[in-house]
Amino acid sequence: MTAQRCLVTGGSGNLGRAICLELARTGAKVALTFHEDAAGAEATRSALGGNAIAIQGSVTDAAHADAAVAAVVQAWGGLDVLINNAAITQVLPFALVEEADWDRVMAVNVKGAYLMARAALRPMIRQKAGRILNVGAFGQGRVTPAPVHYAASKGALAGLTDALAREVARHGILVNLVDPGILEGGLGRAAPASRLADYVEQHPAGRFGSFDELARSIVWLCSPANTFITGAQIPIDGGI
């Protein structure tokens, strides 16, 4: 089987690194993007070894999105998998969210996914095959409500996933979204301590998830083993 050619956004962080390493364990060729954390990106690239690629830039920049995809295509002849993992959040009451805060969260979490997917679809449509996986909202607002602007951005991402999956299915491209539970060390840990305690108390397993657990599910959804799941919004949260 030919190794998958993969691009992961936000590859300098904990979840991005876990996804990249899990892809590499399957034999995939892996490229990652990062914005500011050069040390984190280098840690991921070094852990991957071989011919892994790290590309700096903002997912909100169309030129960066196009360049990142072009780098993968030039290096490996095509692109099989895009994982839109890059995201930001703020824990703020809605009344204190400034317009700039709203715009920044929407730009990274929604526009970034749009720009990366648009760029990735060009080689995928030519290949008549591909996988796009979007990472949705931590906790899905259940038990631990997400900040409003973050929740709104991830709601938009769910809509993008559903509509795009329907549009590109005829090209052999699958598009899915996963909604993680709160992960140990993840974005959701910025929530107030009392809410986190409630989450753990009500969780069937009594714990947060791990980056590796989520990464394994994401990589399977993007693998050749998944041939017919598309347009899905899948909770990976331990059943809470």
Q: Is 114 assigned a catalytic role?
A: no
Catalytic residue, chosen from 34, 114, 138, 150, is: 150
Residue whose structure tokens are 């990589």: 219
Query: In the chain, at which residue ranges do the beta strands (DSSP E only) sit?
Result: 5-8, 29-34, 53-56, 81-84, 130-135, 173-180, 233-236
Non-local CB neighbours of 143 within 8 Å, separated by 6+ positions: 195, 198, 199, 202, 203, 240
Non-local CB neighbours of 83 within 8 Å, separated by 6+ positions: 6, 7, 8, 9, 19, 132, 133, 135, 218, 222
> Catalytic residue numbers?
150
